[in-house]
């Protein structure tokens, strides 16, 4: 468990470095861009639907932060200490940020004409915590808001700086492209029917689906359902690059299993590309009989694949 001890020690060392920022200024000597004023109070009350007759003689207490906001042009006054603290967290891999909560205390009402000044202090940095979002540290800053120099309220703001949980999405097969030329084929597959197009002009079967006949040029067609018998006309065995969606890793080695992609000649005479299943790829042979089956790849995707009709003797395997 040496690695865990090392990790615990690194976490502890980081926490001590983060704690050293507690009590340091996050912003100093800041001034509100506007004095407390009736138009801003009126806009706020309209936006919030607050019709209290107390306003705008005084400002709604929950407007406290509004008087400190820098707007698009931002605020001067943010300290190097706050940036350095966030930089330490970034460097430790806690690169994501989410605001978690804020708390306000109101000491006296703000009135039109009050001149706002404020400072902010890094109040606390938590030990490393693991949340549903990921592992990281909570950082709480406290802003002291003054009106004409007198403390009028405080605004505590807490963020979580964290390393997001790496969610490994389950590998899914790419979706087929379904358009007006191929929709009928995929609708057939969803009913477990493998449909081949048949030209109604000259009777030629065709696969894959096309808007017109290559033999006579007719755009008119109907379909016939394949009976599901076929043989391996040609094949490749895919080793690299590995695609987990196409073949689960070997549980013994963790490395991806090779899988077979075959060109299957259907008994109707057309050929289609698909997977060959039910046989180790090394045992696949040209001419091997296969039969159609429908693979439920995931909740949304069914695919026609071809299973070897009978087991291949082991000594025949490469």
- 169: buried, middle or exposed (CB in 10 Å: 19+, 13-18, 0-12)? exposed
Residue 67 near residue 34 (C-beta atoms within 8 A)? yes
Pairing of strands 289-298, 271-277: unpaired
Q: Tell me the closest approach of the beta carbon of residue 198 to Zn ion, in angstroms.
A: 9
Q: Tell me the closest approach of the beta carbon of residue 314 to Zn ion, in angstroms.
A: 46
Residue among 120 and 213 whose Cβ is closer to Zn ion? 213
Residue among 122 and 199 whose Cβ is closer to Zn ion? 199
Residue among 6 and 217 whose Cβ is closer to Zn ion? 217
Q: E-strand spans in the chain?
A: 25-31, 96-106, 116-125, 129-130, 134-147, 150-164, 195-199, 205-206, 221-225, 229-238, 259-266, 271-277, 289-298, 301-308
Q: Tell me the closest approach of the beta carbon of residue 310 to Zn ion, in angstroms.
A: 37
Q: Tell me the closest approach of the beta carbon of residue 229 to Zn ion, in angstroms.
A: 24
Distance CA 33, CA 102 (A): 22
Residue among 184 and 278 whose Cβ is closer to Zn ion? 184
Residue among 127 and 202 whose Cβ is closer to Zn ion? 202
Tokens of 63: 């407007």
Q: Tell me the closest approach of the beta carbon of residue 214 to Zn ion, in angstroms.
A: 8
Residue 256 near residue 238 (C-beta atoms within 8 A)? no
Q: Tell me the closest approach of the beta carbon of residue 316 to Zn ion, in angstroms.
A: 41
Residue 145 near residue 68 (C-beta atoms within 8 A)? yes
Residue among 215 and 255 whose Cβ is closer to Zn ion? 215
Name the site residues for Zn ion (rule: CB under 5 A). Answer: 199, 201-202, 204, 213, 215-216, 218
Closest of 108, 87, 77, 110 to residue 18, by C-alpha: 87
């Amino acid at each position: 468990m040496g690695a865990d001890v090392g990790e615990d020690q690194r976490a502890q060392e980081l926490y001590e470095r983060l704690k050293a920022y507690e009590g340091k200024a996050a912003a100093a000597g800041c001034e509100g861009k506007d004095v407390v004023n009736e138009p801003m109070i009126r806009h706020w009350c309209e936006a919030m639907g607050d019709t209290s007759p107390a306003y705008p003689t005084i400002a709604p207490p929950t407007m406290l932060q509004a008087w400190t906001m820098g707007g698009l042009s931002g605020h001067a006054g943010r300290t190097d200490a706050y940036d350095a603290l966030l930089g330490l967290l970034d460097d430790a891999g806690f690169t994501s940020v989410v605001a978690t909560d804020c708390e306000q205390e109101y000491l006296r009402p703000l009135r039109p004409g009050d001149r706002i000044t404020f400072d902010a202090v890094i109040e606390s940095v938590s030990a490393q915590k693991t949340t549903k979002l990921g592992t990281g540290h909570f950082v709480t800053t406290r802003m002291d808001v003054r009106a004409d120099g007198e403390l009028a309220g405080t605004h505590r703001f807490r963020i979580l700086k964290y390393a997001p949980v790496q969610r490994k999405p389950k590998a899914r097969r790419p979706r087929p492209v379904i358009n007006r030329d191929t929709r009928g084929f995929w609708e057939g597959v969803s009913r477990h029917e493998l449909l081949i197009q048949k030209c109604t002009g000259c009777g030629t079967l065709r696969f894959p689906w096309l808007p017109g006949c290559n033999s006579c040029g007719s755009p008119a067609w109907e379909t016939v359902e394949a009976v599901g018998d076929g043989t391996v006309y040609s094949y490749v065995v895919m080793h690299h690059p590995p695609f987990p969606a196409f073949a689960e890793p070997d549980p013994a080695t963790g490395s991806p299993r090779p899988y077979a992609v075959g060109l299957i000649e259907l008994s109707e005479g057309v050929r289609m590309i698909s997977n060959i299943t039910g046989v180790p790829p090394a045992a696949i042979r040209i001419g091997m009989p296969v039969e159609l089956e429908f693979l439920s790849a995931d909740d949304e995707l069914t695919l026609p694949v071809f299973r070897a009709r009978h087991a291949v003797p082991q000594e025949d395997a490469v």
